[in-house]
Amino acid sequence: MSRSIRALIFDWDGTLADSAHLGLAAFQKTFDEMGVVFPQDIYENTYSPNWYSLYEALGLPKDKWQIADEVWLRHYGEETAQLVEGAAETLLDLNHKGYRLGVVSSGSESRVCREIAQSSLASVFETVICNEHTSNKKPHPEGLEMALQRMGSKPEESAYVGDAPEDIEMGKRARVLTVAVHSNYPSSARLLSSKPDIYLKSLVELTDHF
């Protein structure tokens, strides 16, 4: 099945960027600054790349979501996520093999593009779709379909690689090959139940399939 794939599109946080610990710390600081109790057990059980469904699960009033976004970005911006182990070598190898690469992330454009620019992968992505570019959040396929359109890649020639069940559902709804990779985000515990086409314990295993 993977032999027909020409384009590989990736989630950013957790899949390529080792950001789970930074994201959690930013959430803790944000809730503390806003004077709201942070229920870490609920965070771990309901974590989603869709911030707004996560805010809802955490009991944050809707009128505070925009402020929470701004405060979270400020705290997260105090650090820069490094690439997950083996990510640089794996993607550079895939790029060398001729695969076309892209990113579809729920993260903010300013942050994600800053982290990409500071990494060794700055030149390999044909397109980067972020939170601001879409009206609908994961698992809605809008972001992935936008990336496919920009890359001129058909669904049957494309794969999406992510570390959350929402990533796999989005890929299925966009009719692409779905690849799940384990990460340090709590949502990884639910990955297998999303029934991806390929499951990887580590990103470096991607080159065993492509």
- pLDDT tens over the chain, length 210 residues: 577 999 999 999 999 999 999 999 999 999 999 999 999 999 999 999 888 899 999 999 999 999 999 999 999 988 889 999 999 999 999 999 999 999 999 999 999 999 999 999 999 999 999 999 999 999 999 999 999 999 999 999 999 999 999 999 999 999 999 999 999 999 999 999 999 999 999 999 999 999
| pTM reported for the whole predicted model | 0.94
Q: Which amino acid is at 62?
A: K
DSSP character for 206?
G
Question: Exposed, middle or buried: residue 26 (CB in 10 Å: 0-12, 13-18, 19+)?
Answer: buried
